[in-house]
Amino acid sequence: MSKMNLMDSLFFLVESNQTPMHVTPMMVIRPDDQHKPDFALRLYQTLLGKQPVESPFNWRPRLSLTGNPRWEAVPVELDYHVRLSAVPAPGRRAQLNELLCRLQSQPLDRSRPLWELYIIDGMSDGTVVLFMKLHHALFDGVGLNRYAKAMLTRTPDHHDWTPIWQHPAPDRKSMAAPGFVKSAVAALSGAAGQSKLLPEAMRLGARLCGRALGVRHGVTRVPFTAPRSLFNRTPASGRSFASLTVPLKRIKEIGARAGASFNDVILTACDMALNRYLEERRITLDKPLVVMMPMSVRESGQLNANNQFVFGLVELSRGQLMPLQRLNRIRRAAMTTKNEIRHFSAELYQKYGVAIQALSLLAGRVGLERKVPASSNLVISTVPGPQEPRYIMGARVLEVSPMSALPPGQSLNITSYSFDGKVCLGFLGCRKVLPDIGMLATYLERALDELELAVLTQPMSLFDLYRPDLNGAVPGPKTQSPAAIEPVRNRAG
């Protein structure tokens, strides 16, 4: 049996029927005219014959209140995990989204390996949809992305095609997790209890105290200071979903002209869309929204099937700033968070992040999210995918739209996935809180239009680029240019 690490066990600790902790990527594929008839059925039959099932796809959780949670290998019934489905007439995106929301809201069976794959037929345009549910305790976004890239082929020739569950995982790096009764205590005291991490833990605490007292700038956001917002409600069981696809070249051109990264542009466009959504509903906030941005600490090429990321808190924009001022402020805030993470070991920052999120998530889990200050308002993550055409059993992949999980105390998640020259953004929300979630996709597209117009028509001054704090941004170090800082890889969840 394989041990769970601390981050893996956290997902089980906060999971409920209303907040299932699985990620659900959706892939749209188009078979050629020759193979289009009954393609979904033939794909389903082919997948049922793909044995054996390798780890971690043959693992189920063995949970304990007092002992160490572990994974145990069990026989896999592929005809249970691989399913053939269809959208109702007329087979358009609205009907597909309704089906996906229903499937996404249903928890996985913990008595079996924690994944399901749906082959969905019946689309009016002749495409076939693959929808996979995988528990977040098994995969983070970057790890799952590397499995998916290993599964997809570079040419239409499908003879060497291997499904995702036949790519064995290397040995897991495990930071052993204690039983659930001890998990919260371990998360809060584990970092200080290890002598090698104690100096770092004290230094991190001093930096955060300095920021909280207002005597230190250029330090990451202090936890539990996010404004209480519409997005900080524990979700009910129903889900709403919308997606948006934009050219990757467009995002990169905006970033290049503004001296910003891909992540900065995505965060800014999301901030503009979220503020417009709140304004349309006459909801005002006394402080800017704070997003939780998962950042991968996974080594290059690593396929370990556990979670290897840390949480970073990024404060978005305040007030009615112009698009470029907003972008520069968010760029500086994101850079500050990334630089802060680099000052400490990944192990310490992961434990710190688990402790902070455990308090927030457990409060939401027991219905106390209105009593405990919010550490963040929502999760926004980005995952880079392959930038060339990919195929599955000869059919070209047209779109990969991410759907992550809604944790207790949060009713919205935004994830972007770049693939084959496109950026696919997935908006997953609580149906009760955000029944009109499609408006967020509309507002985000409008935000990109405004950013594009701003970088083309408004001159960029040196003060805008290097001192965005003069326009209301978070002040930070002035000795390093953006190009001199190596980016931290972001991920999905």
Catalytic positions, written as ranges:
136
Write the CA distances from 13 to 16, 42, 211, integer angstroms: 9, 39, 31
Taking a C-beta distance cutoff of 8 angstroms, is the pair 187, 358 a contact?
A: yes
If phi over 0 gives left and psi between -120 and 50 gives alpha, with beta otherwise, what is residue 393? left
Closest CA to 124 of 168, 94, 148, 102: 94
Q: What angle do CA 412, 418, 423 make, to 5 degrees?
A: 70
Q: Whats the size of the chain, residue-wise?
A: 493
> What residues have CB less than 8 Å from 174, skipping those under 6 apart?
2, 3, 4, 5, 306
End-to-end, the C-alpha distance of the chain in Å comes to 25
Instruction: Enter the DSSP assignment of 298.
Output: P
Q: Across-strand partners of 397? A: 29
Long-range pairs, 188-197, Cβ under 8 A, ≥24: 188/355, 188/358, 190/6, 190/351, 191/348, 191/351, 191/352, 191/355, 197/345, 197/347, 197/348, 197/351
- Return phi, psi of residue 298, to 5°: -75, 140
User: What is the DSSP-derived secondary structure letter of residue 484?
Assistant: G
Number of Cβ within a 10 Å radius of residue 331: 24
User: Is the C-alpha dihedral spanning 130, 19, 7, 414 positive or negative?
Assistant: positive
Please check whether residue 147 is in contact with residue 139, taking contact to mean a CB–CB distance below 8 angstroms.
yes
The rounded Cα 469 to chain-centroid distance in angstroms is 28
